Chain A
Amino acid sequence: MAEETITLEVTRYRPREDREPRAQAFTVPYRKDWVVLDALNHIKDRVDGTLTYRWSCRMGVCGSCGMMVNGVPKLTCAAFLRDYLPGPIRVEPLAYFPVIRDLVVDIEDFMGKLRRVMPWIIRRTEQPLTAGEYRQTPAQLEAYKQFSMCINCMLCYAACPVYGLSPLFIGPAAIALGYRYNLDSRDEGYHLRQPILAEAVGVWQCTFVGECSAVCPKGVDPAAAIQRSKVAGAKDWFLSILLPRGGRS
């Protein structure tokens, strides 16, 4: 019996040399336990060593391997070939990011934005280590836990129409991370962080449709973070702590 195969149409692009990106078709063996990343590795190892993409953990936790798969932002290590039968499968670099080469995009913009939301614990006074841990109840942990699950995979940016139009928008993951620290019972930096978040949300017209949350592979729900960061003011902040989950109106 002939080996079953499936075709990938992969974007190739060297910005310095090529006038525009082009799609190259590769036919690879079809295995029902293969993910798109396995197919790319097959191509790189056996067919074309110049194919360029990032990956590492192959288990959905390092955040390296985000690409557009049939037009939708996906972790390619968690996108099974069997869900795209009979193919072909279109594999493109994440939307809205500048391309460095083929499927590798430039995320420096996000790295800068991450720093702007001050994603670290801010305290007026540090308790010495000898005094032990800051107490935090399971409920206080639960209040921010969801927003601490972000793997910085950038899928939400590639799905965000606002980021597509206005690259200055701080964007879903950075807002969610800033918000995560605002919700942390150990943190006292709300007054520093919140104006940045509120302004970031206020200036740009996020429609709260929630494309970001829909594509997030880790259930972070950045749309909820954006929604709740919109209004500066302690009252809303307390409300959000009382209603830690969902609650998108």
Chain B
Amino acid sequence: MLQHDVLVIGGGGAGLRAAIAAAEESDRLSIGVLSKVYPMRSHTVSAEGGTAAVMRENDHLDFHAKDTIFGGDFLSDQDAVEVFVREAPAEVIQLEHWGCPWSRDPDGRVSVRPFGGMTVNRTLYAADKTGFHMLHALFQTSLKYEKIVRYDEWFATSLLVEDGKVCGVAALNLHDGQVSPVTAKAVIICTGGGGRVYPFTTNAAIKTGDGMALAYRAGVPLKDMEFVQYHPTGLPGTGILITEASRSEGGHLKNKDGYRYLQDYGLGPPTDKPVHRKMELGPRDILSRCHIQEYQKGRTFDGPYGHYVHLDLRHLGEKVIDKQLPFVRELTRNYVGIDPVHEPIPVRPVVHYMMGGISTDLDGATVLPGLYAAGETACVSINGANRLGSNSLTELLVFGARAGRAAARDALGRPPIRSNPLAQLAADERRRLNERFLRADGRERIAEIREEMQKAMEKGLGIYRDRATMQETCKTLRHLRERFAHVGLMDRDAVFNTELIAALELESLLHVAETIAHSALAREESRGAHTRTDFPKRDDTRFLKHSLATHTPDGPRIDYSPVTITRWPPEERKY
């Protein structure tokens, strides 16, 4: 049987950071990293803008904490934020020591740039491919640890739980189609978010919320799922991300009259040089709402993929664009056929990030003994109701490392796993997959259900929400779940069955979609990224609390837990 002390599910930034941390915690541990894609394919690779940490004398941990809490509309747990800002600097330096090619100042220090919602320059970057460089630095560094054993292109289909403790996973090896138990004394889920529940997203195809669904199906609550971040500048059609760094370098958002419309929404005055937290450096939730209001006023452009505005970089000049934003130039040239040196870029808000996720404590531990989570898949919560740009890459480092260390210590203290019952559980899982998918004769097609789910989510759970539309989406999702029970595969092969994977992913997506919809319906206020036309105000009396969605046969049950406030009492969020 395949056995480890610590098993990490997901090989992106959080997963690799966790694996290395566990490896460094003790020589006696064996560590597995199991991922449905090769680690360097993980979605961390697509992050562009940067990584926030207090690095300079003009900055202070409290400033970073306050910006994060304010940006999160006071739903962040402030004890988590304090840990986060405190451990961030050492983590980004650690990554520097591991070879990450951070952009540099002339004196050789790592450079920092401004970013949306931040009061000080504190975003480290590697041009505009920060996530790519971080992921490859982590992956290449992980190769140095021989006790990290990888299961590349394995899909974890369920958690194995015995006596109320997690003991590993059942996992499908894509290369031969076999389902095997992989046991571990501690399991860390680092599988990212699930932006693919929406039709327009910056997220890669693999972002299907698998880890969230794994935990949810095992009874672990998903926290604050109603908070979904729209990034204000994605490419229409493909949803490809145009980094916020293009605005922190000085890019302007303009409506169809060439007017910098953000000044009409309390973000002015417009200046030539970017000013912290003003205009284009406002937070993402607010900028996305401004876009929709411009559209409602008829001041956006109309294209084959709906309304859009212009992101104008021309005044930055070719030199700055090539040095600081080369990937933006590459992407826009390739995918929209325009050169940002000479033409403005068409952009619109697209789904980007999930603030919510598997509910964890400061060490990534969940309520299920032996189960940990970190990164976008988790909710600690530092991001509250709206994440600030460049906090997510830092989050996966800080909390990836913390979860790795905690899981390692946990594993050291646990007796060996009894393998017999687990083999039985894995056999059950094998049977489930066979009966459910490979031998079933359903007529429903995966792509159709997926597309209808995405449409329903965009309609009911977009930037602006109201009760009636959300209720309709909840109904549609239930109905889609019933249809999913009759899904049929054309592919019955054992080897590299990507249609089976697509079915498993759709199963995850449907779970995630339902938790988003039901959590949002229950939250009768507007806060951060969750904006309700029928409840337009923040309501601290009723809703200064986290939502917790727990799986039941009839859909998610919504409970609440308190928000931890340490030093920053809630105040009105105005920029």
Contact = CB atoms under 8 A, between A and B. Distances in A.
Contact of B334 (A44, A60, A120, A133): A60
A62 B99 contact: no
B140 A120 contact: yes
A119 B39 CA distance: 15
Interface in B75-129: 90, 93-94, 96-99, 101-110, 129
B108 A120 contact: no
Interface in B34-48: 37-38, 40-43, 45-46
Q: Is the interface of A mostly helix, strand, loop or mixed?
A: loop
Contacts of B495: 14, 16, 100-101
B419 interface: no
Contact of B152 (A48, A111, A138): A111
A23 interface: no
- Interface size on A, as a range, is 35 or more
Interface stretch (A143-151, A198-206, A227-235): A143-151
B564 interface: no
A56 B37 contact: yes
A14 B491 CA distance: 12
Contacts of A118: 144
B141 interface: yes
B132 interface: yes
Contact of A136 (B108, B240, B445, B499): B108
Contacts, number: 152
B320 interface: no
Interface string B116-154: 000000000000010011001000110110000000100
A233 B38 CA distance: 35
B237 A59 contact: no
B337 to A, nearest CB: 8
Given A45-B447, A140-B104, 5 more contacts: A57-B204, A63-B41, A115-B143, A126-B97, A133-B96
24 contacts: A44-B498, A45-B447, A46-B447, A49-B446, A49-B489, A57-B205, A59-B238, A59-B331, A59-B335, A62-B40, A78-B334, A100-B175, A100-B495, A101-B495, A114-B143, A126-B97, A133-B102, A137-B107, A141-B104, A151-B40, A177-B140, A181-B99, A186-B97, A186-B99
Shortest 3 CB-CB contacts between residues of A and residues of B: A135-B108, A45-B447, A49-B490
Interface of B: 37-38, 40-43, 45-46, 90, 93-94, 96-99, 101-110, 129, 132-133, 136, 140-141, 143-144, 152, 175, 204-206, 237-238, 240-241, 327, 330-331, 334-335, 445-447, 489-491, 493, 495-499
